Amino acid sequence: MISHTAALVRRAFGALVALALIGVGSVLLAAPAGADVPVGWSDPDPVDPLHTVLVLVGIPLILLVVITVLVYAPALVRGERLAPGAPAVENQWLGGPRRTTAELAAPDTDDSQAGGASARW
């Protein structure tokens, strides 16, 4: 029977071999990408690395901030607590009394419909 440690070592070794094979394969397949520009094609100007970083990193970050603000702004305006670990909203009643259920009318007689579900069809 193979111990747990031996199985873990075997899996790790297998993963490393697989990654090495993928790395070698990707290098061999990418060799044609290093070819010169074909005759008749234009030779484009080099791209500024700062511009590339701003486009590929800056724009997604700006979008992330805008979407985050659009999601959290309504809750912040309502005064809700957004901190992690905030207590769950219990007994939420949409359109009901704002403070407690004590504001509800209690049934005055046996025939009264006030006070909640009557459990009848």
Q: What is the count of structural domains for the chain? A: 1
Q: Does the residue 52 lie in any domain? A: yes
Q: Does the residue 55 lie in any domain? A: yes
Alpha helices, DSSP H only, in 1-121?
A: 4-30, 49-53, 59-78
Radius of gyration of the chain (CA): 33
Mean pLDDT of the chain: 78
Domain that holds residue 75: 48-79
| pLDDT (0 to 100) of residue 66 | 97
Whether the per-residue pLDDT at 82 is higher than 70: the answer is yes
**Binning pLDDT at 50, 70 and 90, where does residue 37 land?**
confident
Percentage of residues of the chain with pLDDT beyond 70: 65
Q: Does the residue 116 lie in any domain? A: no
Q: Does the residue 104 lie in any domain? A: no
CB proximity list for 43: less than 8 A, separation 6 or greater: 37
Q: Does the residue 69 lie in any domain? A: yes
Q: Does the residue 37 lie in any domain? A: no
**Binning pLDDT at 50, 70 and 90, where does residue 28 land?**
confident
Q: Does the residue 103 lie in any domain? A: no
Range with the lowest mean pLDDT among 18-22, 63-67, 78-82? Answer: 78-82
Give Cα separations from 46 to 37, 49, 50 (angstroms): 14, 9, 12
Q: Does the residue 54 lie in any domain? A: yes
| pLDDT (0 to 100) of residue 118 | 57
